[in-house]
Amino acid sequence: MSVLENNSVASNVVSVVPVSTTSRSYDVYVGIDLLDDAGTYIREAAGGTSAVIVCDSNVGPLYAQRVQESLARAGYAVGTVTFAAGEQHKRLCTLESILEGIAKLELSRGDVVVALGGGVTGDMAGLAAALYLRGIQVVQIPTSLLAMVDSSVGGKTAVDLAAGKNLAGAFHQPSLVIADVCCLHTLDHDLLSDSCGEVIKHGVLADPELFDSICRHPINASGYDDLGMARVVARNMEIKRDVVNADEREQGLRQTLNLGHTLGHAIEAASNYQLGHGSAVAAGLCCVARAAEALGWAEPGITRLVEAACQAHGLPTDTSLPHEVIRRYAVHDKKRHGQAVNLVVPRRIGSVFVRKTTLAELDEVIRLGCGTRRD
């Protein structure tokens, strides 16, 4: 029975977004001050007797104790596994130490891993849950905007390899997602701004109203109260939900979530990950819009709109990287299919399509889209 059916959902839950994929159905709670009730929600959604909180060294001191106490009040035996913060630690050796930590706490099949943190934590704790005893439940508690609007929903889990980001992973849907927008209060402004790249992407992908609204009221400007932020987060989660419900394993529609990512990932990797993911996606989005407009694949005027949205959030709209560098990274992207890349092309705000792009065509996209912005 879901918490909603049980009627015990608290009034500080602003929105419940039900997700229903082929492998699992679960709810996403978006709200204000939810951490103290996390144990109750997890008990009702996942059951079990033991829970392990997985968090990094930044998020642990901020929120782990509250979540731990809440889980204990709900009757769980609780432990915490903490790892060093940073994308550079999203590696197999960290995954191993998380798995050893879970094993030490003697979790069994019905028990729960609680991923408390940003995208790196969600991906690694999710993968640890997918592997431990061949799969135990994971609950995602995203604490960054990027994790709330993107990585906590949809079940992608991964670690990085020397050859590239997220190259080893599994699909493992959570049993519940709890997004407490109060966690964003402690988020560094630059990280908040960076996350807006994925929000702009969702607007271009599926929602002209969201796009228009965030252009007029940039998310990283003051003026968003918790309720306003919860509504934006919930709308983003609905957009992502609609995609993963239709295509959990990225056979078709889910590829559209890679809008801005073919060039964005290349820009991010070429910067040696110094540029944030959302900022790289914003730049990639503007570059692909410019090329699509020039090639007649997109409605005239789309570039101006996408650039304006990125500028309003202080995000980059282009890259000065040499074209051959972008090409090298873009063709090594894991989304490549033989001699073609499935490029997600914006048609107009709210509509995109996937184009099987030959490597020669990709060169043309890079030539027309990258390093060509006119101020």
Place of tokens 């972008």: 326
139 near ligand GLY, judged by CB under 6 A: no
154 near ligand GLY, judged by CB under 6 A: yes
CA–CA distance, 327 with 258 (Å, rounded to integer): 17
Instruction: Give the Cβ contact number of residue 88 at 10 Å.
Output: 11
- CA-CA distances (angstroms) from residue 206 to 55, 74, 111? 32, 39, 36
128 backbone dihedrals φ, ψ, rounded to 5°: -60, -40
Q: Which residue stretch of 103-111, 150-158, 272-280, 361-369 sits at the interface with ligand GLY (rule: CB under 6 A)?
A: 150-158
Among 150, 293, 307, 333, binds ligand GLY (CB under 6 A): 150
Report, in Å, the least distance between residue 109 CB and ligand GLY.
27
Q: Are 37 and 8 in contact (CB under 8 A)?
A: no
What own/partner pairs with CB < 8 Å and gap ≥ 24 does 201-204 have?
A: 201/257, 201/259, 201/260, 201/281, 201/285, 202/149, 202/235, 202/236, 202/239, 202/240, 203/309, 203/349, 203/350, 204/259, 204/260, 204/285, 204/289, 204/306, 204/309, 204/346, 204/349, 204/350, 204/352
CA–CA distance, 318 with 212 (Å, rounded to integer): 21
Q: Which residue stretch of 96-104, 149-157, 160-168, 199-207 sits at the interface with ligand GLY (rule: CB under 6 A)?
A: 149-157
Among 43, 89, 90, 156, binds ligand GLY (CB under 6 A): 156
Please give the distance of CA 273 from its chain centroid, rounded to a whole number.
16
Query: What residue type is 257 in one-letter code?
Result: L
Instruction: Give the Cβ contact number of residue 9 at 10 Å.
Output: 19
Report, in Å, the least distance between residue 250 CB and ligand GLY.
6
Report, in Å, the least distance between residue 254 CB and ligand GLY.
5
111 near ligand GLY, judged by CB under 6 A: no
Closest CB to ligand GLY among residues 156, 165: 156
Site for ligand GLY in 237-266 (CB under 6 A): 254, 257
Q: Considering CB under 6 A, how many residues would be counted as binding ligand GLY? A: 5
Nearest to 57 by CA among 93, 81, 91, 85: 85
Report, in Å, the least distance between residue 154 CB and ligand GLY.
4
Report, in Å, the least distance between residue 191 CB and ligand GLY.
17
165 near ligand GLY, judged by CB under 6 A: no
201 near ligand GLY, judged by CB under 6 A: no
Report, in Å, the least distance between residue 150 CB and ligand GLY.
5
Closest CB to ligand GLY among residues 172, 254: 254
Report, in Å, the least distance between residue 229 CB and ligand GLY.
20
90 near ligand GLY, judged by CB under 6 A: no
Q: For ligand GLY, which residue has the nearest CB?
A: 257
Closest CB to ligand GLY among residues 116, 257: 257
Instruction: Give the Cβ contact number of residue 120 at 10 Å.
Output: 24
117 near ligand GLY, judged by CB under 6 A: no
Q: Which residues bind ligand GLY (CB under 6 A)?
A: 150, 154, 156, 254, 257
